[in-house]
């Protein structure tokens, strides 16, 4: 049920206060119940759960199409496994949750649980290994938590781990993972992907390379949203993962890739507006809601027509339902706009007797009359083509407005403090990275853009470079 005040459904606060708007929308659209009394956790509500499960299903299909099989490892990690790679342990020891005797920790990431078992699998000749799991991960965050953005229980965390005989095979695998994520962002979530390659000093010691995906939230903060780590042989050497080639050890090559429910945080905040969610059709639990508008005399006929239309829409592969609740038509409009259902069809007396239906698009908030004969084809085209295209174009335009190419640190400071994200040439040197990240609290240079280059000079040291970095405040 949508929360009600004396004067109808509770209203969304203005989007200028992003976190207030975001938290309120999570509750009103029934994505999450944030009243659970443990910091950094929440309850997934049925509508949010359906949205998330639709994303999980898309990823499941994509992973399995690429021969990556689903598994599930235990949440408990024995301390001896956790300490096997001391770099990993140093990185996570302060953020991990432990059992009372400190014999076990709750997994912050999968490597130490999986790799000792991979060693046994490799011995049995199971190569290459290409597996994933979708579970919760746990981190005792010292930073402020924000639902779905920074949780202590990170839900629906998927993690791919692959093991290869050759470096080339691992490089190819990492590119495949990047293509899967690119396609998720574009085709399913309708958000232009921004990916960066991490500088060497920012990745695991001994790893080959890493890509990270970023989204930009309405408050101008960069949110890391997925990472692909080509671990090289760094972990193989720590966990002794090798193939015996006539008595000589050949260490294997590994890739690990992961992201969690943060995808939903991006979808909500990037597509959402003053009325609520705008759900991309590919992940929408419901594509079309039909609202019958009737009085005592017309109720039977109008409801019958609404049901006939619903059945036809369903037959054509669209998720449709008739809202027959006791709420008034106006309240129903508000509720479904809040939940971001892509299309609403209204059927009143005019529609019943005329040759058209009234159709409302959530992404444009425009109503149009659609001939009854064309309603199925029109709805299908909107769901499959026009709405996703419009969403991605709007998001791309917003990114264009918020990201500014800057020539100086001073210019960057002003732009970032006004809620923008800066882009500049940089030489990829560690000192310059540190200088950029020092311009203001929580500002960070996130890495080298993978899909864009420009002739210029490093914004810090003046050295010639074609490489660009994004920088701004991060979560």
Maximum CA extent, the chain: 88
Nearer to Zn ion, 218 or 456 (CB): 456
Q: Residue 196 CB, nearest distance to Zn ion (Å)? A: 16
Is the separation of the CB atoms in 291 and 301 below 8 Å? Answer: no
Q: Residue 199 CB, nearest distance to Zn ion (Å)? A: 11
Nearer to Zn ion, 180 or 427 (CB): 427
Site for Zn ion, residues 92 to 121, rule: CB under 5 A: none
**Contact string 126-165 vs Zn ion (x = CB under 5 A):** ----------------------------------------
Q: Residue 340 CB, nearest distance to Zn ion (Å)? A: 43
Contact region for Zn ion (CB under 5 A) — 106-114, 186-194, 257-265, 423-431? 423-431
Buried b (16+ CB within 10 A) or exposed e, 264-286: bbbbbbbbbbebbbbbbbbbbbb
Contact region for Zn ion (CB under 5 A) — 83-91, 97-105, 202-210, 454-462? 454-462
Q: Residue 457 CB, nearest distance to Zn ion (Å)? A: 8
Q: Residue 245 CB, nearest distance to Zn ion (Å)? A: 43
SS (H, E, C) 425-456: ECCCCHHHHHHHHCCCCCEEEEEEECCCCCCC
The rounded distance, in Å, linking the Cα atoms of 370 and 430 is 59
Q: Residue 413 CB, nearest distance to Zn ion (Å)? A: 17
Region of residue 156 (left: phi > 0; alpha: psi -120 to 50; beta: else):
left
Say whether residue 427 binds Zn ion (CB under 5 A): yes
Q: Residue 432 CB, nearest distance to Zn ion (Å)? A: 3
Q: Could you say which of 458, 471, 473, 475 contacts Zn ion (CB under 5 A)?
A: 458
Q: Could you say which of 96, 241, 432, 449 contacts Zn ion (CB under 5 A)?
A: 432
**Those residues with Cβ within 8 angstroms of residue 315's Cβ, 6 or more apart along the chain or in another chain:** none
Contact region for Zn ion (CB under 5 A) — 253-261, 262-270, 339-347, 427-435? 427-435
Tokens coding 59: 């990823």
Report the candidate in 310, 202, 237 with the shortest Cα–Cα distance to residue 86: 237
User: Which position has the token pair 């490093």?
Assistant: 458
Buried b (16+ CB within 10 A) or exposed e, 411-420: ebeebbeeeb
Contact region for Zn ion (CB under 5 A) — 35-43, 249-257, 378-386, 456-464? 456-464
371 pairs with which residues across the strands? 356
Q: What 8-state DSSP symbol labels residue 157?
A: E
Nearer to Zn ion, 149 or 432 (CB): 432
Determine which helix (DSSP H) or strand (DSSP E) holds 415, and give its type and residue range.
helix 409-417
Tokens coding 313: 């829409």
Is the separation of the CB atoms in 229 and 254 below 8 Å? Answer: no
Q: Residue 207 CB, nearest distance to Zn ion (Å)? A: 23
Q: Could you say which of 460, 467, 469, 472 contacts Zn ion (CB under 5 A)?
A: 460
Say whether residue 412 binds Zn ion (CB under 5 A): no
**Contact string 369-408 vs Zn ion (x = CB under 5 A):** ----------------------------------------
Helix axes 409-417, 430-437, angle to 10 degrees: 40
User: Which position has the token pair 């579970």?
Assistant: 135
Residue 30: exposure state from Cβ atoms within 10 A (0-12, 13-18, ≥19): buried
**Please, what is the Cα angle at 324 between 287 and 307, to 5 degrees?**
65
Nearer to Zn ion, 87 or 435 (CB): 435
Tokens coding 274: 């003053």
Q: Could you say which of 373, 461, 464, 466 contacts Zn ion (CB under 5 A)?
A: 461
Say whether residue 241 binds Zn ion (CB under 5 A): no
How many chain residues are in contact with Zn ion, going by CB under 5 A? 6
**Contact string 312-351 vs Zn ion (x = CB under 5 A):** ----------------------------------------
Q: Residue 223 CB, nearest distance to Zn ion (Å)? A: 26
Q: Residue 341 CB, nearest distance to Zn ion (Å)? A: 49
Q: Residue 465 CB, nearest distance to Zn ion (Å)? A: 7
Nearer to Zn ion, 267 or 445 (CB): 445
Q: What torsion do the CA atoms of 388, 394, 395, 400 make, to the nearest 10 degrees?
A: 140
**Those residues with Cβ within 8 angstroms of residue 362's Cβ, 6 or more apart along the chain or in another chain:** 278, 279, 336, 337, 340, 341, 342, 343, 344
Q: Residue 463 CB, nearest distance to Zn ion (Å)? A: 5
> Residue numbers of the site for Zn ion (CB under 5 A)?
427, 429, 432, 458, 460-461
């Amino acid at each position: 049920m949508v929360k009600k005040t004396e004067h109808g459904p509770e209203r969304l606060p203005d989007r200028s206060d992003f976190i207030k708007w975001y938290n309120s929308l999570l509750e009103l659209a029934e994505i999450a119940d944030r009243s659970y009394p443990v910091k950094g956790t929440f309850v997934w509500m049925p509508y949010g759960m359906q949205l998330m499960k639709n994303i999980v299903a898309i990823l499941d299909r994509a992973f399995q199409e690429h021969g990556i099989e689903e598994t599930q490892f235990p949440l408990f990690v024995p301390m001896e496994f956790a300490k096997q790679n001391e770099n990993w342990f140093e990185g996570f020891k302060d953020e991990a949750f432990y059992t009372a005797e400190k014999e076990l920790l709750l997994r912050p990431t999968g490597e130490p649980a999986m790799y000792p078992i991979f060693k046994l699998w490799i011995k049995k000749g199971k190569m290459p290994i290409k597996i994933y799991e979708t579970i919760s991960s746990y981190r005792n965050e010292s930073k402020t938590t924000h639902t779905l953005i920074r949780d202590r229980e990170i839900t629906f965390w998927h993690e791919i781990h692959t093991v290869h005989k050759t470096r080339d095979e691992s490089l190819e695998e990492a590119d495949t993972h990047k293509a899967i994520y690119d396609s998720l962002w574009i085709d399913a979530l309708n958000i232009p992907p921004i990916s960066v390659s991490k500088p060497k000093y920012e990745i695991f010691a001994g790893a080959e390379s890493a890509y990270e995906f970023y989204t930009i939230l309405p408050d101008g903060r960069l949110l890391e949203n997925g990472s692909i780590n080509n671990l090289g042989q760094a972990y193989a050497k720590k966990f002794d993962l090798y193939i015996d080639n006539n008595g000589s050890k050949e260490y294997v090559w590994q890739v690990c890739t992961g992201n969690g429910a943060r995808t939903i945080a991006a979808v909500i905040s990037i597509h959402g507006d003053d009325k609520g969610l705008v759900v991309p059709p590919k992940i929408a639990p419901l594509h079309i809601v039909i609202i019958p508008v009737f009085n005592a005399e017309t109720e039977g006929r109008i409801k019958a027509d609404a049901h006939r239309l619903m059945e036809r829409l369903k037959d054509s592969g669209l998720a449709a339902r008739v809202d027959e609740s006791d709420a008034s038509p106006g309240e129903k409009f508000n509720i479904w706009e809040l939940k971001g259902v892509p299309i609403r069809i209204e059927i009143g007396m005019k529609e019943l007797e005329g040759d058209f239906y009234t159709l409302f698009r959530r992404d444009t908030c425009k109503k149009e009359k659609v001939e009854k004969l064309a309603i199925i084809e029109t709805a299908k085209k909107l769901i499959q083509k026009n709405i996703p295209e419009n969403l991605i174009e709007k998001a791309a335009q917003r990114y264009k407005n918020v990201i500014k190419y800057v020539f100086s640190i001073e210019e960057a400071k002003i732009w970032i403090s006004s809620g923008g994200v800066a882009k500049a040439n940089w030489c990829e040197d560690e000192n310059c990275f540190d200088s950029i990240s020092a311009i203001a609290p929580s500002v960070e240079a996130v890495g080298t853009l993978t899909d864009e280059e420009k002739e210029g000079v490093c914004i810090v040291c003046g050295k010639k470079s074609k490489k660009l970095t994004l920088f701004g405040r991060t979560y």
